[in-house]
Amino acid sequence: MRAAEIQSELTNVLVTEEQILAKLDEIAAQVAVDYEGKDLLLVGVLKGAVMVMADFSRALPVSAPMDWMAVSSYGAGTKSSGVVQIRKDLDTDLHDKHVLIVEDIIDSGLTLSWLLENFASRGAASIEVFALLRKPEAAKVVVDCKYVGFDIPNDFVVGYGLDYAENYRNLRDVAVLAPHVYS
């Protein structure tokens, strides 16, 4: 995709890279305090959380192992269906681990609530969620999310790991996708 084409498909930047990095520093400092002396495991949800994980883990003043889970939530276009399938499971046994799930966005909340239920049976010492973005108006189920970067309006967003049809993940900022692209 060419730069001009990308520009015509975005309406406005919602969160800049600079704002994201500042927020990650803030949350990483809090996480370091909250998990002091604990066996912390970061679990990223592929592929959207790749950028958040890369920057968040480097903002942490401590070293914590990382694992990845790939799930697909079936549904057409820009909506999650809540029917989740595991594409790649964790490599790590969660027993006695303090798990922090690192997510790009909580939209309907269906994917995360499924994931939390799935993890609950694996014997973790604790399970918490860090989501960079959250759309309060889109919530279909309540997800207990301990760390949230930014609450945003109910628009479809791309960039900083978030995609539409696998494009735009590499944009540095989070921007609103123009509705004409998907409607």
Catalytic positions, written as ranges: 107
- Cβ proximity to ligand XMP: between 32 and 71 the closer is 71
| Interface residues toward Mg ion, by CB under 5 A | 45, 48, 104
Q: By CB under 6 A, is residue 15 in contact with ligand XMP?
A: no
Minimal distance, residue 107 CB to ligand XMP, in Å: 3
Report which secondary-structure segment, H or E, holds 28.
Answer: helix 17-34
Q: Interface with ligand XMP includes 57 (CB under 6 A)?
A: no
Specify the residue, 60 or 133, whose C-beta has the smaller distance to ligand XMP: 133
Could you tell me how far CA 152 lies from the centroid of its own chain?
13
Contact call for residue 68 and ligand XMP (CB under 6 A): no
Closest CA to 127 of 137, 139, 113, 140: 113
- Is 97:124 a contact under the CB 8 Å cutoff? yes
Using CB under 6 A as the binding rule, whether residue 110 contacts ligand XMP is answered as yes
Does position 52 bind ligand XMP by CB under 6 A? no
CB of 5 to ligand XMP, least distance (A): 17
Take residue 140 and report the two structure tokens written for it.
């279909």
Spatial contact of 42 and 100, defined as CB atoms under 8 Å apart: yes
Size of the residue set binding ligand XMP (CB under 6 A): 19
Sort residue 68 into left (φ over 0), alpha (ψ -120 to 50) or beta: beta
Nearest residue (beta carbon) to Mg ion:
48
Indicate the residue among 9 and 104 with the shorter CB distance to Mg ion: 104
> 53-91: b or e for each residue (b if 16 or more CB lie within 10 Å)?
bebbbebbeeebeeebbebebeeeeeebebebeeeeeee
Residues 123-182 that bind ligand XMP (CB under 6 A): 156-158, 162-164
Chain residues in the site for ligand XMP (CB under 6 A): 48, 73, 80, 103-112, 156-158, 162-164
